Amino acid sequence: MKKKYEPLFEPFTFPSGVTIDNRIAVAPMTHYSSNEDGTISDQELDYIIPRSKEMGIVITACANVTADGKAFPGQPAINQDSQISGLKKLAQAIQAQGSKAIVQIHHGGIECPPELVPNQEVVGASDIFDNGKQIVRALEDHEVENIAKAFGEATRRAIEAGFDGVEIHGANGYLIQQFYSPKTNQRTDRWGGSAEKRLAFPLAIVDEVKKAIASHAKEPFALGYRLSPEEPETPGLTMAETFTLVDALAEKELDYLHISLMDVNSKARRGADETRTRMDLLNERVGNKVPLIAVGSIHTADEALQVIQSGIPLAAMGREILVDPQWPAKVKEGREEEIETIIKLGDKPKYHLPEPLWQMIINTPGWVPFED
């Protein structure tokens, strides 16, 4: 390994005491390949094993915590105890490669396709109508509480399955973000209104997850939270509202905040200094209180190193690890110039990609680069 890349392979210990071997994280990626009932499939294991070698942590595809939270066909589930045995296989498959296993826990809210949820009833923070027809039903007070508790129960299952931690999926426009965003939350009860009141649901989930960890974890267990810093629409989340969110989360003694971006170097849009990157602004705001994970268009060893040298302790990669699972091994062995950044369609078997994910890649131009 070239000396300059050594910082990528220094160990890191989270506040909870969970220690990882290096600073590389595998970002959670939807793979559309779990069994129909949400249990873990063999092709899912075949996919994750090569992507767990030489990594610090592997964050799994988001798993729904309730039946009405399923947002993708082939999504893993963590809403019933019958799923624990399969989840255990997933955790062990990752850990056998030397990485720590984190399961991302999730509810899709208004992003759930009707055909994937019970009675085709999509639920969210507020009612949504389209041409006079109700397409989303606002959750009632007790239902909001029950979903927060479901995140706690999902955490218990993750502990029983042997994972090293959970990541709360509060990003990418799913239910937790829907409750915090003024775009999707028009409630006037205790779950909506001001930015502080819209924080009630995300913080209730954090509290339920922490309670489950305190009750069930016998060893250090990591708790992360993924968030999207801004929304493009007005009304929509601004950097100013994101600062309010991260200030509150930083007081919750989390292990990390995972900042969901398409480009790690993207600059603030509104509500903050527009000449600075969102990552720099957030690191300045709360980086001294809670570790951050950066993600978004990190492909090369130099790009990952740039993240670490900017003061962000961890760099996550998603699409790049789909393309080249050997990324860390190549950097470690001084072969970083051999890192692949484009899937070659003729070499399909070497990627160990489940067929539904393979089809999604080739039918979604611009998502994961490929060539004939």
Active centre residues (catalytic): 174
Distance CA(229)–CA(269), nearest Å, equals: 10
Please state, in angstroms and rounded to a whole number, the distance separating the CA atoms of residues 180 and 236: 9
CA 370 to chain centre: 24
- Give CA–CA dist 63/109, Å, rounded: 13
Give the β-pairing of 133-138 and 128-130: antiparallel
SS3 367: coil
Q: Residues 108, 111, 113, CA angle at the centre, nearest 5°? A: 100
Output the CA angle 59-164-260, nearest 5 degrees.
30
Cis peptide bond N-terminal to 349, omega within 30: no
Cβ contact 71:108 at 8 Å: yes
* Contact between 332 and 41 (Cβ < 8 Å): no
Where are the extended beta strands (E) located within the chain? Answer: 12-13, 19-20, 24-26, 57-59, 63-64, 100-106, 123-124, 128-130, 133-138, 165-170, 222-227, 256-259, 292-295, 314-317, 343-344, 370-371
Burial per residue of 41-74, b for 16 or more beta-carbon CB atoms within 10 angstroms, e otherwise: bebbbebbeebbbbbbbbbbbbbbbbebbbbbeb
What is the DSSP track for 69-122? Answer: G--STT--B-SSGGGHHHHHHHHHHHHTTT-EEEEEEE--GGGS-GGGSGGG--
